[in-house]
Chain A
C-alpha cells in the first residue's frame, strides 16, 4: 500500500490529484468549522454582493455567503458520489467476476443483460430510477450506483476471463472449493487493480451526474447547498451575478479533474510497466 502511494507520488498526475483530493477531504471534514458564515444566514442588504474581502466568493440572491455554502456543500456532494460509485463498482465487479467464472451459457446471459442495460444512457437510466424511487439525495446516489454497475461488470469480466485461466483457479476447482470462495477470494483480489482505477475515474462522472440530477431538481432539495443545486438556483442570475454560478461550477470541475488525475496516476502506480 505504501508502495503504491510512493509510485503515485512519482507521477505528476498523481501528485496533483492527491493534492486536490486533500483539499476536498479537508473541505468535507472541516467545512463547517472553516466556513466564515452559516450557509443559511440570509442578508438582504448584501444580496448579490460581488467577491471581496467580506464575501470571498461573493453572496447569492438571498445574501448567503457562496464560500460557506460551497464548503458545507462539499459534504453533501463528494462523499455521496464516491460512495455511490464504489458501491456500484463493487456490485459490478462481483457480477463480472461471477460471469467470467461461470462461463458458457450463464456468461452469455449475464453479458447480454448488461448490454441491454448499457444501451440506456446513464442520465436517462438515473432519471428513470429517481422518478420511480422518488426525489432525494439517497435515491440519486442509488440511481448512480445502479448506472455504474453494468459498465464496471463488463470491465471486470474481461480481466476476470484471463484470471479464470490461471492455474490457481483450476487448483481451487480441483480442491473442491465452492463457487463463492473462488469468485470472492481467489479471483476478485486479482482483478481489483483495474476495477479501482476504473472506479476512481468514474467518480468524476458520478459527481457530474449527481450535480445534473440536483440541477434537474431530482437530487438534493433546497435549501441544501449541494453544488449541482447551487448551479441550478444561480442559473437565473447568471448575467446579474455570474460568481454565484461560477463558484460551484468550478468546484464540480475541480472534483472531476481531481478524480480523473487520480485515476490516471493509479493506473500507472498499480500496473508497474516492464522497464524494457
Chain B
C-alpha cells in the first residue's frame, strides 16, 4: 500500500536580498495511514516551511528545486493546479496552527467557520452543515456545542478555540493533518488535554498526521516515529520510544541532553535563611469598578510570599494564574494593594519605590524581541541602568563578557542578534544594576531547548558569582524542579501550594500540583 504522504528528495530555497538561502535539503519522509510522524527542529530549521510546502502555500520568494516530489496518496501535489488544490486542502489534508487565537476569523461566528468547510467540501446544505458542525464540536468534548456555535472567537478560551480548529480539521475526515506546534500557545494542562483528544480522534479516524514541534519530549509522547530536522536536513529518523534512549546522530544527542529532566538537579547549595524580600497580601487589579460594571476579580488575590537571600524561588501555574502579575507588582509596573518589604524597609505602593529598591529588584521579560528597544544599540541599552544606578559605562565590555557575548556586540542593534543573544543582553541589563533579586518572567519559554539550557546555565553561574536571588516564573515544571529551592504553585490568582524540594520528593503536594506534574511531558529512557 502506498503511503499517505511521501516526500522524496525535496529541496527548497528562499530568494532574499542577501542571495539564495537553502531552507530544505533533500528531505525524504513518508507517513503511512494511521501513523503519526513527529518532526522536531529548532527555530529556523525549516520545519514550518516544509508544512507550507506540503499544503502548497509557499511565499512568493520560495523556489523549489527541480526533482524531488511531494505526493499525497496517488496525487502529485507539485503538479496539482490551484483549482485541484482548492478541493484537496480542507478535504484531503488540513492543518492545525500554533496559535488558535489567530487561526479563527474574529468577525465570523464559530458556527459559520466550522460549517463553511462542510458546505464547501461535503456539499451539505447550510442547515445540514450546521447540524454536522454541532456534532463535530460535540465530538471534540466541547461543552454546550450548540451555544458555542453562535459565539465569536473572542468569547471562547484558548483551549476551546484550539478544539474548534481541530474539529474543523477533522470535519471532512482528511487523509492527512499537519499539526504545527498545536499546544505551544496553550498552558500545560490545556495542552495535555488537547493531546489526549488528539490521541482519541486518531484511533477513531485512523488519520495520518505530521506533528511539528520544537519540544522533543512532547513529540516522543505523541508520535510513532520522530524525524529530527537540522538546518533543513533530516539527520535522524527513529521510532519514538528509541529516540531518547539511543539517539544515533550527534545533533539528536545534543537535543536530548538539553531537555530538562526533573530528577537532575542543577543547583547543589541551599539558600541562606535571611529573608530578602517579603510581599504581604499583594492584590493586582487591572480594571476598576465602573458605573455599570462591577470590578472584575483581581489578577492576584492577596498573595503573600517571601524570597530569601540567594534563593531561587520558582512560581508555576497555568496562564492566567497571576504569576506575571506578581512580577508586575514587585517591579512597580502595575499598581497593587498590600505591602512589600525589602531588607526590612517597607514599600507601600508602586509610587513609593525608590532608586535603591529599583536597583535591588530587576526583571527580565519573556520575549527578548519586545524587551529591547529596537532603535537603541546594545551599548545604549546597557548604559541606561549603569547611569541610573551609579555604574561605570566603561564596564559594558565586561558586562557583555559576563553573559558570554563578544564586546563587539555593543555596537549592534537588537534585530542583528538571535533570540538567545537578545535574552543574554536583557540579562546583562538586569545585572548591570548589581541587583539582589532578579525576576525571570518565563525567560526561557520562547527559546529553543539547547539555547534554553545555556541561558539557565548562565543564570546559575551569575548567581554563583553575585549571590543573586531569583524569582523564577515558568510553566515548565521539569525545568523548575531542576533549579528551584522552593516552588510556589498558583491557580486563579491564589497560591495553592508552597513546597520545598524535600516535600516534593516525599510527595507531600497539593492535588493540583500533582495534576500539573502529570500533565507536563517528561523525557523517557
A177 at interface, CB cutoff 8 A: yes
A221 at interface, CB cutoff 8 A: no
Q: Kindly provide the distance from the CB of B342 to the nearest chain A CB, expressed in whole angstroms.
A: 14
Contact in complex: B365, A275 (CB < 8 Å)? no
Q: Given A174-B332, A176-B353: A190 and B60 within 8 A (CB)?
A: no
Q: What chain A residues lie within 8 Å of B30 (beta carbons)?
A: none
Q: Given A167-B371, A171-B371: A275 and B61 within 8 A (CB)?
A: yes
Q: Given A176-B355, A186-B373, A189-B375: A171 and B365 within 8 A (CB)?
A: yes
A175 at interface, CB cutoff 8 A: yes
- Interface size of B by Cβ–Cβ distance < 8 Å? 28
Q: How far is the CA of A252 from the CA of B358 in the complex (A)?
A: 56
Contact in complex: B371, A190 (CB < 8 Å)? no
B331 at interface, CB cutoff 8 A: yes
Q: How far is the CA of A167 from the CA of B372 in the complex (A)?
A: 7
Contact in complex: A170, B365 (CB < 8 Å)? yes
Contact in complex: A167, B367 (CB < 8 Å)? yes
Shortest Cβ distance from A176 into B: residue: B358
Q: Kindly provide the distance from the CB of A271 to the nearest chain B CB, expressed in whole angstroms.
A: 13
Contact in complex: A190, B365 (CB < 8 Å)? no
Q: How far is the CA of A175 from the CA of B376 in the complex (A)?
A: 16
Q: How far is the CA of A276 from the CA of B58 in the complex (A)?
A: 7
Q: What chain B residues lie within 8 Å of A173 (beta carbons)?
A: 332-333
Contact of B373 among A174, A176, A190, A275 (CB under 8 A): A190
Q: How far is the CA of A170 from the CA of B366 in the complex (A)?
A: 12
Q: How far is the CA of A275 from the CA of B16 in the complex (A)?
A: 9
A38 at interface, CB cutoff 8 A: no
Shortest Cβ distance from B350 into A: residue: A173
Contact in complex: B370, A167 (CB < 8 Å)? yes
Q: Kindly provide the distance from the CB of B351 to the nearest chain A CB, expressed in whole angstroms.
A: 11
Q: Mark B417-432, 1 if CB is under 8 A from A, else 0.
A: 0000000000001000
B362-380 at interface with A (beta carbon < 8 Å):
362-363, 365-367, 370-376
Contact in complex: B59, A276 (CB < 8 Å)? yes
- Interface size of A by Cβ–Cβ distance < 8 Å? 16
Contact in complex: A174, B372 (CB < 8 Å)? no
B291 at interface, CB cutoff 8 A: no
Contact in complex: A175, B385 (CB < 8 Å)? yes
Q: What chain A residues lie within 8 Å of B433 (beta carbons)?
A: 175
Chain A interface, >50% SS class: helix
B465 at interface, CB cutoff 8 A: no
Q: How far is the CA of A61 from the CA of B331 in the complex (A)?
A: 73
Shortest Cβ distance from B385 into A: residue: A175
B84 at interface, CB cutoff 8 A: no
Q: Kindly provide the distance from the CB of A260 to the nearest chain B CB, expressed in whole angstroms.
A: 27
Contact in complex: A168, B358 (CB < 8 Å)? no
Q: How far is the CA of A170 from the CA of B376 in the complex (A)?
A: 16
Q: How far is the CA of A166 from the CA of B414 in the complex (A)?
A: 14
B388 at interface, CB cutoff 8 A: yes
B330-359 at interface with A (beta carbon < 8 Å):
331-333, 353, 355, 358
Shortest Cβ distance from B366 into A: residue: A167
Q: Given A174-B331, A174-B358: A168 and B59 within 8 A (CB)?
A: no
A59-100 at interface with B (beta carbon < 8 Å):
none
Q: What chain A residues lie within 8 Å of B362 (beta carbons)?
A: 174
**Interface core residue of B16, B59, B353, B371 (most chain A CB under 10 Å):** B371
Q: Mark B57-74, 1 if CB is under 8 A from A, else 0.
A: 001110000000000000
A168-196 at interface with B (beta carbon < 8 Å):
168, 170-177, 186, 189-190
Q: How far is the CA of A121 from the CA of B353 in the complex (A)?
A: 46
Contact in complex: B375, A190 (CB < 8 Å)? yes
Q: How far is the CA of A190 from the CA of B372 in the complex (A)?
A: 12
Q: Kindly provide the distance from the CB of B18 to the nearest chain A CB, expressed in whole angstroms.
A: 12
**Interface core residue of B61, B362, B375, B429 (most chain A CB under 10 Å):** B375
B384 at interface, CB cutoff 8 A: yes
Contact in complex: B375, A174 (CB < 8 Å)? no
Q: What chain A residues lie within 8 Å of B61 (beta carbons)?
A: 275
Q: What chain A residues lie within 8 Å of B429 (beta carbons)?
A: 171
Q: What chain B residues lie within 8 Å of A166 (beta carbons)?
A: 370-371
Contact in complex: B388, A175 (CB < 8 Å)? yes
Contact in complex: A174, B370 (CB < 8 Å)? no
Q: Given A174-B331, A190-B374, A275-B60: A167 and B365 within 8 A (CB)?
A: yes
Q: How far is the CA of A177 from the CA of B381 in the complex (A)?
A: 13
Shortest Cβ distance from A6 into B: residue: B17
Q: Kindly provide the distance from the CB of B385 to the nearest chain A CB, expressed in whole angstroms.
A: 6
Shortest Cβ distance from B57 into A: residue: A276
Shortest Cβ distance from A170 into B: residue: B333
Q: How far is the CA of A221 from the CA of B358 in the complex (A)?
A: 59
Q: What chain A residues lie within 8 Å of B372 (beta carbons)?
A: 168
Q: Kindly provide the distance from the CB of A59 to the nearest chain B CB, expressed in whole angstroms.
A: 53
Q: How far is the CA of A52 from the CA of B332 in the complex (A)?
A: 74
Q: How far is the CA of A166 from the CA of B388 in the complex (A)?
A: 21
Q: How far is the CA of A167 from the CA of B61 in the complex (A)?
A: 32
**Interface core residue of B353, B362, B373, B374 (most chain A CB under 10 Å):** B373
Q: How far is the CA of A150 from the CA of B374 in the complex (A)?
A: 27
Q: What chain B residues lie within 8 Å of A175 (beta carbons)?
A: 358, 384-385, 388, 433
Q: What chain B residues lie within 8 Å of A189 (beta carbons)?
A: 373, 375-376
Contact in complex: A171, B363 (CB < 8 Å)? yes
Shortest Cβ distance from A173 into B: residue: B333
Q: Kindly provide the distance from the CB of B413 to the nearest chain A CB, expressed in whole angstroms.
A: 12
Residues of A within 8 A of B (CB): 166-168, 170-177, 186, 189-190, 275-276
Q: In the complex, given contacts A170-B365, A190-B373, what are 5 additional A-B residue pairs having Cβ atoms less than 8 angstroms apart?
A: A174-B363, A186-B373, A275-B60, A276-B59, A276-B60
Sample (16) of A-B pairs whose CB atoms are under 8 Å apart: A167-B367, A168-B371, A168-B373, A170-B328, A171-B371, A171-B429, A173-B332, A173-B333, A174-B358, A174-B363, A176-B358, A176-B388, A189-B373, A189-B376, A190-B375, A275-B59
Residues of B within 8 A of A (CB): 16, 59-61, 328, 331-333, 353, 355, 358, 362-363, 365-367, 370-376, 384-385, 388, 429, 433
